[in-house]
Chain A
């Protein structure tokens, strides 16, 4: 059954024509041509806002110093004593040590970006390769990989992070970098089976398409077929999951920080997660403003990633179930 990528409009016509691919081949492709032309739609205001926000986060991660809210590590004891709250110069107020929270949140972007991008990239490469091989070759290799995925899926991120942190990053003299790597790796390992399964599902579908069989029939080797025929068609599915995965990675980082295995909340190592963690205890003492900053940033970032992930998914009509 011809199964080209469909969009809403084509669904209307297909529903009306009974979706009979075999006989409506001529009509389908004509309708598809129209749809392809129409699918280069504008992103819409929401889409551009999302992209804008993410771009801003990226800028903050790379050059946090350009923002005028103060230096990292600076402590304004005067402000503490005067119990200063939110103001224009300090939109998120101060934390219990007198550091400007806006600065800390902005500097925290770097950690969050590194963790989310790094972990998902890790998952994408390893999970993607495993998923591709599993979906294409099937048979025993597939069984083994699927079982590995199942085992990995059973491990909660938090337990894994705890274990890794204990083994590799315990003690007082652990560097920030090491802690960062441990967190990224923990989330990355957990994301491998998820990204792997999505890739495998997509690969299974595409490997059965007749153009793949045609490639085999003309004598192309497996690696050529996987890279040139299957992968370009699987990439859209993987890409949309990537964006969603990053959103989840950010939240997971927050969770890890709250239970104490994230990036330590030192003066020079803020991350959104540990800001919430430290802010949490202050909340009950009547200073809820401390979590507002990082929470808002997490909220908008996750929202933007989710929205774009959805846009990509709709554009390429990824039918696999999402996390």
Chain B
């Protein structure tokens, strides 16, 4: 049985490694709806170096998809408010018009979406969809574009590429379509790729193939990847760093191994414990996270996760924890982190009382992570 590892990527000779490729600072995105202002992303900051993969993990309402679309500038104009700073190689993206952003889309950054059937135009041939980007951004003549398209299809592992160029999306399987979506995204050689749940709609055997493909392409091109998913298993093997989002906020960020070995935020711990694992015995009782995701229009005072947290104390209900890092590179937003003295005491107190400070009955005691 082989261990799956993430290979160290050496810098490409001409790459600018003096500053991070992507610097996101305090991005907040909210939607004005008839019912109120939905704070979908509520202050997210991180940096991403060239050639590295950041996994963003979260469930519905965590804001992970809104975040990736915010960073790219893909949100519809009306009723959306975006603040903060997003710098791509030092260039500020927030505030740019769609026309200015178009200069970056495809060339500097690209996105792969979840459902390949709806990301591809059903009435246009595959060939045209690939060459479109090439001819628009790089002003390639038709023949050269076609050759490049063929090479691209080959690089994403599609058999008989010449035939595929003339086909329509519905003639291909889900896995093939997603490869084509990736090919289109990479056509102009972007430095940054957002992959928003790229394999969720695919079978698990195809998922492994597509993720391998992404990893290979990333290494070849020294590309940075932001991998957004709800599946902790997917990021465990593929990301250098993992950021966990909850209720629009970043609650924990750490290098992958560090995160799993020493998770600090109760949500991360609860999430991991609620997933059935293949290597556990059957009929293992799953630890449940009580309650529902927070209302993004009226988020709770204090910590977003407090109403559902096993460790919640009074302080959590009034004060919002800021992201701190006691180990370099490992940030978390919690007053009573897992594995710390405060955390252990808080949990013990709650178990003894039978409920947390928020009144939630404390479920099965969480396994202690050293």
List A residues at the B interface (Cβ < 8 Å): 9-10, 12-13, 15-18, 20, 22-28, 30-31, 34-35, 37-38, 41
**Nearest Cβ in chain B — how far from A41, in angstroms?**
8
Residues of A within 8 A of B347 (CB): none
Bound Cα distance from A37 to B34, whole angstroms = 9
**Nearest Cβ in chain B — how far from A202, in angstroms?**
23
Which parts of B35-59 form the interface with A (CB within 8 Å)?
A: 35-36, 38, 40, 59
25 cross-chain CB contacts under 8 A: A9-B31, A9-B34, A9-B35, A12-B31, A12-B79, A13-B31, A13-B38, A16-B65, A16-B75, A16-B76, A18-B113, A18-B114, A20-B65, A20-B115, A22-B200, A24-B65, A26-B59, A26-B293, A27-B293, A30-B61, A30-B293, A30-B295, A34-B297, A35-B33, A35-B34
Decide: B295 and A9 in contact? CB cutoff 8 A: no
Bound Cα distance from A37 to B35, whole angstroms = 8
The residue that B33 contacts in the complex, of A17, A26, A34, with Cβ under 8 A, is: A34
Residues of B within 8 A of A34 (CB): 33-36, 297
Residues of B within 8 A of A12 (CB): 31, 33, 76, 78-80
Q: How many chain B residues touch A (Cβ–Cβ < 8 Å)?
A: 31
Q: Is B292 an interface residue (CB 8 A)?
A: yes
Q: Is B196 an interface residue (CB 8 A)?
A: yes
**Nearest Cβ in chain B — how far from A5, in angstroms?**
15
Decide: B292 and A26 in contact? CB cutoff 8 A: yes
Decide: A26 and B60 in contact? CB cutoff 8 A: yes
State whether A13 and B40 are in contact (beta carbons under 8 Å apart), knowing that A20-B114, A38-B35 are contacts in the complex: yes
Decide: B60 and A25 in contact? CB cutoff 8 A: yes
**Nearest Cβ in chain A — how far from B204, in angstroms?**
15
Decide: B69 and A16 in contact? CB cutoff 8 A: yes
The residue that A15 contacts in the complex, of B29, B60, B75, B114, with Cβ under 8 A, is: B75
Bound Cα distance from A18 to B34, whole angstroms = 20
Q: Is B252 an interface residue (CB 8 A)?
A: no
Residues of B within 8 A of A18 (CB): 65, 69, 113-114, 196-197
Residues of B within 8 A of A30 (CB): 61, 293, 295-296
Q: Select from chain A the residue with minimum beta-carbon distance to B228.
A: A18
Bound Cα distance from A34 to B35, whole angstroms = 6
Decide: B61 and A26 in contact? CB cutoff 8 A: yes
Bound Cα distance from A5 to B80, whole angstroms = 22
Bound Cα distance from A184 to B75, whole angstroms = 51
Where chain B touches its partner, the secondary structure class is loop
Residues of B within 8 A of A28 (CB): 60
Q: Select from chain B the residue with minimum beta-carbon distance to A11.
A: B76
Bound Cα distance from A16 to B113, whole angstroms = 12
Bound Cα distance from A41 to B296, whole angstroms = 22
State whether A20 and B197 are in contact (beta carbons under 8 Å apart), knowing that A12-B31, A34-B33, A34-B34 are contacts in the complex: yes
Q: Is B230 an interface residue (CB 8 A)?
A: yes
Q: Select from chain A the residue with minimum beta-carbon distance to B79.
A: A12
Bound Cα distance from A16 to B72, whole angstroms = 11
Of listed B38, B40, B115, B196, residue having the most chain A CB within 10 A: B38
Bound Cα distance from A17 to B63, whole angstroms = 8
Additional A-B contacts beyond A12-B33, A16-B75, A20-B114 (17; CB < 8 A): A9-B34, A12-B80, A13-B33, A15-B75, A16-B29, A16-B66, A17-B40, A18-B65, A20-B65, A20-B200, A25-B60, A27-B60, A27-B61, A30-B293, A30-B295, A34-B297, A38-B33
Bound Cα distance from A28 to B65, whole angstroms = 13
The residue that B31 contacts in the complex, of A16, A20, A38, with Cβ under 8 A, is: A16
Bound Cα distance from A23 to B57, whole angstroms = 13
Residues of A within 8 A of B114 (CB): 18, 20
Q: Which 8 A-B pairs have the closest CB atoms?
A: A34-B35, A38-B34, A9-B33, A26-B60, A27-B61, A27-B60, A24-B60, A17-B65
Residues of A within 8 A of B61 (CB): 24, 26-27, 30
Bound Cα distance from A38 to B113, whole angstroms = 31
Q: Select from chain A the residue with minimum beta-carbon distance to B62.
A: A27
Bound Cα distance from A28 to B293, whole angstroms = 12
Residues of B within 8 A of A22 (CB): 200
Bound Cα distance from A249 to B59, whole angstroms = 52
Decide: B79 and A9 in contact? CB cutoff 8 A: yes
Residues of A within 8 A of B297 (CB): 34
Q: Select from chain B the residue with minimum beta-carbon distance to A33.
A: B35
**Nearest Cβ in chain A — how far from B122, in angstroms?**
16
Residues of A within 8 A of B296 (CB): 30
**Nearest Cβ in chain B — how far from A225, in angstroms?**
31
Bound Cα distance from A13 to B36, whole angstroms = 12
**Nearest Cβ in chain B — how far from A21, in angstroms?**
10
Bound Cα distance from A102 to B79, whole angstroms = 49
Bound Cα distance from A18 to B33, whole angstroms = 17
Bound Cα distance from A22 to B76, whole angstroms = 22
Bound Cα distance from A48 to B80, whole angstroms = 31
The residue that B76 contacts in the complex, of A10, A15, A37, A41, with Cβ under 8 A, is: A15
Bound Cα distance from A187 to B296, whole angstroms = 52
**Nearest Cβ in chain B — how far from A25, in angstroms?**
6
Bound Cα distance from A34 to B298, whole angstroms = 12
Residues of A within 8 A of B76 (CB): 12, 15-16
Of listed B35, B113, B296, residue having the most chain A CB within 10 A: B35
